[in-house]
Structure formats: C-alpha cells, structure tokens
C-alpha cells in the first residue's frame, strides 16, 4: 500500500511538472507570435531577423526552431495567429447573415431585411477592425500580403477575406436584384468594405486632420454607424450596364 501511495504521489508531481512546463512553452510561443507579428507588421520578411524576434519576445533564438521550425514557418504561423484572433467574431456575424439568406431562399428575398442585415454586418465589422486587440501590427501584415502575396495570403484569404466578401456580395446582389455571383455585386461589396479598411489603415492622416492622438470610443461608434449608413444609401445607385463606356 505504501508503494502504491508513493507511486501515486510521484505521478502527481510528474503531472504538475509537465503541466507547468507546457504552460511555460505555451507562453513562450505566444510571445514569439506577438513579437513576430509586430516585426512583420512593420517590416518586410527579409529585413526581419530571428534574433530580433527572439530578443523582443525575451526568448532564446532556438525557441523559434523548437516551436515553429524556422523563420518561414513562423511567418505562416503569424498569419494563422491573426485568423485565430479575428475569425471567431467575424464568423459569428457571417453565420447570422447566411442563416437569414437561407431562410429567404424558401420564402423570397426581403430587400429591406437584406439592407438591415448589411448595415448591421458592416457596423460590426467596423467595430471589430477599429477595436482589435492585435493593435497596429495586423494592417501592415495584411496590406503587405495584399501587395506582395506569399503562401500566407491563402490563410488570410480563405479564412477572413473570402467569407466576408462573399456574404456582403450576396447581400448586395439580393438588394439590387442581381445574381449572387454577379461581378457588379462583387465590385460594390469591395467598395463598401474598403471604406472600413481605410478608416484603419488611413488613420494616421485622419487623426492629424482631427488634431487627435487616437480614436475615442465615441469616434469609433460614430465611424461604425457612418459606414453602415453610407453603405445603405450607396445602394440606391442605378445598376450599371455591362457594355456601358
């Protein structure tokens, strides 16, 4: 009985030790991802060194190889890290719209409901973009992937860009009486989403115009309402003819 109790005690200590080690490793991995996001968010891939990232994370340079395998794999992991932090909220809002659109397939399109869905979706997206906990680093990373795409672009596109763009396109098409995949609906969706992005990436210039250091909570609320209202009004345009000059 004594041997059994001794073994149980040893197993318990071993489990605590393993749990503590795993916790330390998880924290190190998180710090490396955050440091890498900051570095890659402000500098191109070639100008960032693993030493720079490790130092910023307060970790040994060998930790990058241990957790990720190397600089290239770390860069890909950063893209996945962005998705992990942004996707849940975005997916929740998209799922609500897709459910509503599915319901309308059975009973017919309700244009006013589609307008309201679009306004709410864009408002929530603006709030998410402007209040992201990932701060200043994500826009730089994403813009760099937009202008000079790498393999990481597929991670961002498949999980963030494409799902949101697709559902906004569907709403625009329903409101304007176009087919779900109509090119014009896609272009309009891009324009509507673009205004939100510019409030993020063009923030420095706007804040200087406003003579402010940052957006206040009231500013963010006003911007989110503004982009959703403008989007609704913009959809009153006359449909363009495909063969028009």
Q: Do 9-67 and 78-234 share a fold? A: no
Domains in the chain: boundaries: 9-67, 78-234
Mean pLDDT of 1-8: 54
Q: Which of 137-141, 167-171, 214-218 has the lowest mean pLDDT?
A: 137-141
125, 146, 142: which is closest to 231 by C-alpha? Answer: 125
Q: Which of 4-8, 50-54, 105-109, 205-209 has the lowest mean pLDDT?
A: 4-8
Chain CA centroid to CA 196, Å: 13
Where would I find the H helices in 49-182?
A: 50-57, 62-67, 71-107, 111-130, 137-147, 152-156, 162-176
| Predicted confidence (pLDDT) at residue 205 exceeds the cutoff of 70 | yes
Residue 236: how many other CB atoms lie within 10 Å: 8
CATH 3.30.70.1450 fits 78-234, yes or no: no
118, 197, 120: which is closest to 160 by C-alpha? Answer: 197
Count Cα neighbours of 221 within 13 Å in the Cβ-side half-sphere: 3
CATH 1.10.1060 fits 9-67, yes or no: no
Mean pLDDT of 217-227: 96
């Amino acid at each position: 009985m004594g041997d059994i109790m001794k073994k149980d005690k040893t197993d318990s200590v071993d489990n605590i030790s393993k749990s503590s080690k795993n916790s330390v490793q998880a924290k190190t991995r998180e710090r490396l991802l955050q440091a890498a996001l900051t570095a890659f968010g402000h500098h191109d891939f070639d100008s960032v060194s693993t030493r720079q990232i490790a130092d910023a994370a307060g970790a040994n340079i060998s930790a990058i190889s241990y957790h990720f395998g190397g600089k290239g794999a770390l860069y890909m992991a950063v893209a996945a890290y962005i998705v992990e932090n942004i996707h849940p909220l975005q997916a929740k809002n998209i799922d609500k719209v897709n459910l509503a659109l599915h319901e309308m397939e059975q009973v017919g399109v309700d244009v006013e409901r589609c307008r309201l869905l679009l306004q709410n979706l864009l408002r929530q997206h603006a709030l998410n973009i402007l209040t992201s906990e990932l701060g200043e680093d994500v826009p730089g990373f994403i813009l760099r992937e937009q202008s000079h795409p790498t393999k990481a672009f597929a991670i961002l596109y498949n999980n963030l860009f494409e799902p949101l763009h697709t559902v906004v396109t569907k709403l625009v098409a329903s409101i304007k009486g176009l087919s779900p995949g109509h090119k014009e609906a896609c272009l309009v969706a891009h324009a509507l989403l673009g205004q939100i992005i510019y409030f993020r990436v063009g923030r420095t210039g706007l804040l200087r115009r406003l003579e402010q250091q940052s957006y206040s909570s009231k500013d963010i609320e006003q911007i989110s309402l503004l982009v959703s209202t403008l989007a609704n009004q913009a959809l009153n345009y006359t449909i363009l003819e495909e063969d028009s000059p």
